[in-house]
């Protein structure tokens, strides 16, 4: 079955589950919420959502989430300052289960990966010229997580991707086993977040096992977040993988929430800084 057909099948299945879950919700719910939140920042090294790959150059990051009840649209844009390398991912997500302890999120996305490629050219002395190629992908995700406490949660994240061109990866499988430790007060109004992960990545016939973690420091007094990611190979034969990659990023975080009662106009709620 072609990659596009497989993606459509998975999309139909996901939408069926979403429809069933939506119909099963209580009809007498009186609160509808919406809002948007996100991060804007700069980094010395743009690292992909699959941390095996990095841009190896300073980059800008823009992550936005527009939410309506259980649905959200989450664009994720990462690019070098000159715009020649990066990625544009447009997530459509649904929170299938929202419990006190257990949560389940699903999603689908189209994406573009921007990479440099040499092509034959008669206009240069070397006979080659470098262009930016936009490779197209589609993917699905599933993310179950369990909250052990207000500060600690465990999760498994699975991403299944399909490349839509022949000169790149066609089939990709990415699965992580992660722990999220957040809200740890380090001094006054400053808090610490630590997210260690072990993950397995398979691209067509090549695969690898990695360790990665992200550390963040935020404050309730200002909207800035300092974050660092480290990725380390354990075993791999994937081309383009680096034994060790790291970055340091500075983000501006924002969060606006809205809500309404049935039959009433939307009322703005005071801005809050989102925990990331």
Looking at residue 62, its pLDDT comes to 94
| Domains of the chain, residue spans | 3-23+38-268
pLDDT in tens, 200-246: 999 999 999 999 999 999 999 999 999 999 999 999 999 989 999 99
| Lowest-confidence region among 39-53, 77-91, 129-143, 159-173 | 129-143
Gap between the Cα atoms of 161 and 158, Å rounded: 10
Looking at residue 275, its pLDDT comes to 31
Average of per-residue pLDDT across 118-140: 77
Gap between the Cα atoms of 93 and 80, Å rounded: 26
For residue 17, is pLDDT > 90?
Answer: no
How confident is the prediction for the chain on average, in pLDDT?
Answer: 83
Gap between the Cα atoms of 201 and 248, Å rounded: 24
For residue 100, is pLDDT > 90?
Answer: yes
| Range list of H helices, the chain | 3-23
The angle at the Cα of 193, spanning 192 to 194, to the nearest 5 degrees, equals 125
Band of pLDDT at residue 258, cut at 50, 70 and 90 = low
β-pairing, 86-98 vs 71-80, is antiparallel
What is the percent of the chain where pLDDT is above 70? 77
Residue 76, C-beta contacts closer than 8 angstroms, at least 6 positions apart? 49, 62, 63, 87, 88, 89, 90, 91
Looking at residue 27, its pLDDT comes to 46
The residue ranking higher by pLDDT, 266 or 147, is 147
Gap between the Cα atoms of 29 and 76, Å rounded: 32
What architecture (CATH level 2) is domain 3-23+38-268?
Beta Barrel (2.40)
C-beta separation of 39 from 78 below 8 A? no
For residue 131, is pLDDT > 50?
Answer: yes
């Amino acid at each position: 079955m072609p990659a596009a057909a497989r993606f459509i099948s998975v999309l139909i299945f996901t939408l069926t589950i979403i429809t069933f879950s939506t119909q099963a919700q209580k009809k007498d719910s009186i609160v509808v919420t919406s809002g948007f939140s996100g991060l804007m920042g700069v980094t010395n090294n743009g690292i992909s959502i699959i941390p095996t790959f990095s841009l190896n150059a300073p980059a800008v990051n823009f992550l936005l989430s527009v939410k309506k009840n259980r649905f959200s649209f989450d664009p994720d844009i990462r690019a070098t300052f000159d715009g020649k390398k990066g990625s544009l991912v447009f997530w459509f997500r649904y929170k299938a289960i929202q419990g006190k302890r257990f949560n389940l999120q699903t999603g689908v996305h189209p994406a573009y990966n921007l990479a440099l490629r040499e092509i034959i050219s008669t206009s240069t002395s070397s006979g080659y010229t470098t262009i930016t190629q936009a490779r197209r992908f589609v993917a699905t995700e599933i993310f179950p997580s369990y909250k052990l406490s207000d500060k600690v949660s465990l999760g498994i994240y699975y991403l299944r991707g399909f490349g839509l061109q022949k000169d790149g990866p066609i089939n990709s499988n990415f699965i992580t086993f992660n722990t999220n430790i957040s809200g740890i007060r380090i001094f006054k109004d400053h808090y610490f977040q630590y997210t260690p992960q072990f993950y397995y990545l398979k691209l067509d016939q090549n695969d690898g096992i990695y360790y990665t973690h992200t550390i963040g420091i935020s404050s309730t007094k200002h909207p800035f977040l300092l974050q660092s990611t480290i990725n380390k190979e354990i075993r791999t034969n994937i081309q383009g993988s680096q034994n060790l990659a790291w970055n340091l990023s500075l983000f501006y975080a924002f969060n606006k929430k809205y809500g309404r009662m049935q039959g009433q106009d939307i009322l703005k709620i005071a801005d809050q800084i989102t925990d990331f």
